[in-house]
Structure 1
């Protein structure tokens, strides 16, 4: 008699173009996409994110061939939204979703990571709008994301995972909790980025314990506590802080990743945990050894991590 296969207990650990310093579809200073894919394999990962649309091939057949020949699989794509600005933002969001979700879903990805527009530009550091939202804007934000999440699931079978972010309107613990209160768990949950949440003093484990049903996806990242208070005191733009190394190679920063992986594995072992160390502006030779050491660190500090 055949013995049933044991159910997985740990989280699938993957990585993303961001960990290779990739922020834009086409930047000659970034690691070429072929090298990124090759180095992901060499570093020991099987799961990746799509990254900025247009960085990896956008033809589904070509991308399937490139991933398949390397034994890689796709967990998610990413889009950017600004629903607090009003109804006009719907077309912009859905146009992105048609491209990104349309491609990622054909490769088997079931998640779309959604990053809110920043109030301060990550390209120029210019302040673009007020740092906080009015009650009316909060209402538009929540309604927009629920509409997007419902449409994504109905059209592509994909789940929306909202990513709180430094220099955005949803970054602090209070803002993240309000966002959850403004949205419907059927359509909108969190991509909990451990580094971005810690950037504003958030306690990742406390949030996981208090809102376990809203954790749909993880980005694993650490922030450098020796730099953080200077960044906040001096109101340093996020992009400049990244260039200065605010997001640091584990295990040299906070929060500890093992307890977070273990807490989320206890909620649902099908949740992805994607290493995403912001490294934009780094040299092309810098990311690979860091990615390799990070994977080795994660697998050495918890038994609840798996490759596939």
Structure 2
């Protein structure tokens, strides 16, 4: 793959989980950044432990030769007034812009079950026509604001939300203009659909609209246990449903071929939330980096 086109990053969720603060509470944000750099990554996403003072964070990143490439941002267009999301969006967008990020990854959280006790493979949001329209309009607004700041907004399809399956991803992209992008996440597609073919299909179909990529692997035997025991998303995470590329079931080689062939320019980010007490963050970051080096040349 072309080193001038693609940069490699990693998410801090392997060190400390924002949704499950007890996972990795012992790992400081300074340790997290240092181990990211030690493992050989060029950048990272924002974690909840990171300092809110932009100058403190920027200096820490520069010392380790790291860049911020993206951050999670929750939207609430389906169930709340537009203003609720926009009031939080603009200051956070400017924060990311000040750190040099070009992308903000958003997730529509109206009705989401990812943070509760609902079974991961149970009921989740099913929006009506009006709600879908509000989501599309909201993301169109976010995209224009992002463009005005030299950035791009993308939707992170996610388990437990109303945009999880290939059909729902298609509906979202069809309803929004071309300046609304997708954050492609290999692990969430596999967890949703259960096949390599689905992962490859969604990537190939959506690549023209993909602005950011999460490389996440899955453990199918844990998926089977989660289904059998009706575990929630967070219980599944603690149980090890996700892991780094090369440690699970997904064959990333055809994905890398498709990404390279498409001319994609941007970040590929390892994002594999696990219990750091069971999956040492540095060890798994290095394992993923070795796999990427072997199969992408990056």
* TM-score between the two structures when normalised by the length of structure 1: 0.86
Which of the residues 27, 33, 58 maps onto 1:64?
Answer: 58
Q: Secondary structure at the match of 1:290?
A: helix
Are residues 200 and 26 of structure 1, via their aligned partners in 2, closer, same or farther at CA, if it must alter by over 3 Å?
Answer: closer
Instruction: Quote the RMSD (CA, aligned, Å).
Output: 2.5
Which of the residues 152, 162, 167 maps onto 1:169?
Answer: 162
Match of 2:175 in 1: 182
1:79·1:112 contact (CA, 8 Å) conserved in 2?
yes
> After the TM superposition, which residues 121-140 of structure 1 pair with which residues of structure 2 at under 5 Å, given as runs?
121-125=113-117, 131-140=125-134
Match of 1:246 in 2: 241
2:116·2:232 contact (CA, 8 Å) conserved in 1?
no
The CA distance in 1 between the partners of 2:31 and 2:83, in whole Å, is 34
Instruction: For residue 254 of structure 1, report the CA deviation from its aligned partner.
Output: 3.2
User: Would you say 1:222 and 2:214 are equivalent positions?
Assistant: no
Match of 1:4 in 2: none
Q: Secondary structure at the match of 2:226?
A: helix
Match of 2:200 in 1: 205
The CA distance in 2 between the partners of 1:236 and 1:284, in whole Å, is 19
Instruction: For residue 233 of structure 1, report the CA deviation from its aligned partner.
Output: 4.9
The CA distance in 1 between the partners of 2:144 and 2:154, in whole Å, is 12
Gapped regions of structure 1 (runs ≥ 5): 1-6
* TM-score between the two structures when normalised by the length of structure 2: 0.88
1:221-271 deviation digits (Å, cap 9, x = unpaired): 011112223424544211111111000233232322232123122223422
Equivalenced residue count is 291
Match of 1:231 in 2: 226
Match of 2:27 in 1: 31
Instruction: For residue 164 of structure 1, report the CA deviation from its aligned partner.
Output: 0.5
